[in-house]
Structures are given as structure tokens and as C-alpha cells.
Amino acid sequence: MSFDLIVKGGRLPDGSRADIGISGQTIRAIEASIEAEAGRVIDAAGNLVTPPFVDPHFHMDATLSYGIPRINASGTLLEGIALWGELKPLLTHEAVKERALAYCDWAVSMGLLAIRTHVDTCDNRLLAVEALLEVKREVAHYIDMQLVAFPQDGFYRDPKARENTIRALDKGVDVVGGIPHFERTMEDGRRSVTELCEIAADRGLMVDMHCDETDDPLSRHIEQLAYEAQRLGLQGRVAGSHLTSMHSMDNYYVSKLLPLMAEAQVSAIPNPLINIVLQGRHDTYPKRRGLTRVPEMLTAGIRVGFGQDCVLDPWYSLGTADMLDVAFMGLHVAQMTSPADMRRCFDMVTAESAAIMGLADYGLEVGRKASLVVLDAGDPVEAIRLRAERLCVVAGGQVVAEREKRATRLNIDGRPSTVERRLRPEGRCP
Ligand SMILES: [Zn+2]
């Protein structure tokens, strides 16, 4: 037997060492040792080999627009939405596409090969929808992209949002979104959840709503979302993004809410980088963190995937497409510091988010799509600690990104000539 590509000697996320044999776009063998001909062999000895990073929540229509036409002075969600409203009339099809494709290059270099991006449907031109549908087609051979129809200005609050959101779905946008906490009243928010879930059920689509992205403990649209998921038979196909109000909710209410979410199989997508900067802006001190209750949701059996949300846009002035940054921040803010919890944070930017997106072909298993990342780390927790370099990225059997391992030279008498920040680098391992 021969392979197009063999990745040799890598350490898999479960700690085992294995060679991975790839032919065409598919993983054909995972064995302790593969001795066979190959078109190319990648030496991954001592390095972590994982399935690709997955971002279940992003805004690719806004990315890399930082500073256009100005920056967000207050740093709040609401000024971000207002600023996006100023930017929207200035968008061109070409500029949206160019920025999105540039971002996809960053993503590939970071081993981020699956992205669920919301796209604003509150625009009569549907300019960003058209542009991102083209981007999705153009990157399909290296990035799994899902588009969410997102009525940014409110499904009822913007008089044309309903019509334009449906037009976007007709054009092939994959998932139904919403923003109930931005509607004019709690009742409008509740109704928007119901109607949007009905649209998804009618069309056989998944749902992913920006839900309760506030510090208001009475913002409880997640309850309606879970109720509708059960009522309409959408179990396992609905996600609530952000859910930051849960941080501030009454504990008794949450003790009733979490089992409802678990029963309805509603997933949660917290976005730790963006919410640690956006939430708590109306507080003095103590200042709330605003991240939703991640460990409690995991204990309740709710699937959780961390999203990145924003990179260099009206809401967030940093970001590099590095899902390890997201896991790092999530780990800290959720205080998930036990070895098992830190490991879980890695799963929340890989396998758990792939499950939320419904990526059936994802994972390091024979017969699955041959997409993987070789990281300069010994295990998943070390990858988070180091925000480890991606030494090699394989997408559908093709090597799409590579870099040399870079060691810092040290010029100090009596000390080693290079610095190694891995705890047990290959060769020094006892
Ligand atoms: Zn978002």
C-alpha cells in the first residue's frame, strides 16, 4: 500500500503516538508505525497532531475593517453596532471579499479550517451575503464555512429585516440567526425567537442566535430558544451564542434553566475574548466578567464551543485567527484550571465546536477528511499555554501551510544558546 502523504511520529490529543497515512482527501490509516511508500512524509516526531481548529462564531463581513470609518471609542457593544451601521453603506462587494479572503489566509496559517460566520442581512442590497457566498465557494477546498443569516439591526426592529433575512436564506445561507435582546421589547425578542425557529424548522435548517448578550439578568431569551427547540423538534440543531446575561442571573432561575437547555440539546457558544471586553461596561466596581456559566453548563451536559466572534472590527481591536487565544482566555475567565478542565478548553476550540457545526467528516479517524494540524507542543494543554506555533497544516490531504520551528537565540554566558519553552521537549523527555 502507498500513500500520498504520511505524517510520522506525531502525538495525538489522547497522548498516543501514531503515524497517519493519507490518500487523496481521506485518512486511510492511523497506526503505531506505517512503513510504506508516500508522495511526501512530514516528520511530526514529538509534536502534537490534532484535528483542525474550529471557530463556531465569527463575523467575516466585518473582519479586518478596524478604523473604517473610525474606531469604537466607548468599547461597548452598542457603539460597535452603531459604528457597523456607519460602515455598512461604505462597503463594496470587492472590499468585503478581499478582507474575508485575507482573513481566510490568516485562518489557514493558524490551522483554523472550519468557520461559522454570521452575515448581516439588514441591508437591502444583501451585499455582504453575496460576497461571503462567493468566498465560501472559493475557499471550500480548504475551509468549511457556514453562513448564518443574522438580522443585526433586529428582526422586527428593522422594518425590512424579515424580508431580507428570508431572501438571504433563499440564496443559500445555511443557518438561521437572530438577536432577540436587541429588539425593542422583551416581547418582541421572545416573538423573534419563535418566528425564526419556525422558519428554520420549515426549511430544515440549524439555528444559531446571538442570545442575551447583555448584563441584564432578566434577559432570558435562551429559555424561549430552548422551549422552541423542543416544541419544533430542533433538538441538537440549535445554538445560543454569548448567553452573557446568565452570568448575572439569579442562581435559582439558572438551576431550572440549565436542565431545560440540556433536555432541548441546545448548545452554547461563549465568546471569551469579546465578552471579557464588552461586558461589565455599565458597572463600576465590582465589575462583572460577563462570561456565561461554562463549567456549570458542562456539568449539566450542555455542549459548549468557544467562538472568536471578532478580529479587528467595530467591536474588537485585536485578534489573529488564533483559536488558542480564545481557549486561553476562556480557561482563565471560566477558571477552568484543573488538568481535565484545561484539556476540555482545547476540545471546545476543536471537536466540540465541530459537533455544534454538524461537521460529520471531522476528526482524526480512518475514513474521515484528511485535515490536521502539527503543533509545536507536546499535548493540548501545552498548546494552550504556548499558543503553540502551527508547524504544518493539512486541509483535505493538501499541505496548505508550513513554517519552520523558530528558537530564540540566547546570548548569556553560562546559559544555553537557545530557549525552549516546552516543558518536556523531545530529547529531554525522561
Ligand atoms: Zn457575534
Q: Is 109 left (phi over 0), alpha (psi -120 to 50) or beta?
A: alpha
Please return the burial class of 239, using the count of CB atoms within 10 Å of its CB with bins 0-12, 13-18 and 19+: buried
Q: For residue 218, what pLDDT is reported?
A: 97
Q: What residues act catalytically? A: 213
- Report the SS3 class of residue 62: coil
Q: Which residues pair with 398 in a beta bridge?
A: 395
Query: Does position 428 have pLDDT exceeding 70, yes or no?
Result: no
Cα-to-centroid distance, 408 and ligand 1 (Å) = 37
> Residue 221 pLDDT more than 50?
yes
Quote the ligand 1 centre to 389 CA distance (angstroms).
27
What is the distance in A from the centroid of ligand 1 to the CA of 309?
5
66 alpha carbon – ligand 1 mean position (Å): 16
Architecture per CATH, 53-357 = Alpha-Beta Barrel (3.20)
Other residues' Cβ atoms within 10 Å of the Cβ of residue 101: 15
Mean pLDDT of the chain: 96
Distance 259 CA to ligand 1 centre (A): 25
Q: Does domain 2-51+364-419 have CATH number 2.40.10.10?
A: no
Query: Span 229-241, mean pLDDT?
Result: 98
Q: Tell me how far the alpha carbon of residue 316 lies from the centroid of ligand 1, in angstroms.
A: 11
Rounded to whole angstroms, the maximal C-alpha distance in the chain is 71
Average pLDDT over residues 177-206: 98
Enumerate the domain spans of the chain. 2-51+364-419, 53-357
63-77, 294-308, 329-343, 414-428: least confidently modelled range: 414-428
pLDDT confidence of residue 426: 58
Given a cut of 50, whether residue 195 has pLDDT beyond it is yes
3-class SS letters over 4-28:
EEEEEEEECCCCCEEEEEEECCEEE
CB 128 within 8 A of CB 91: yes
CA 96 and chain centroid, separation: 20
Q: What are the distances in angstroms from CA 242 to CA 14, 197, 230, 293?
A: 29, 18, 20, 10
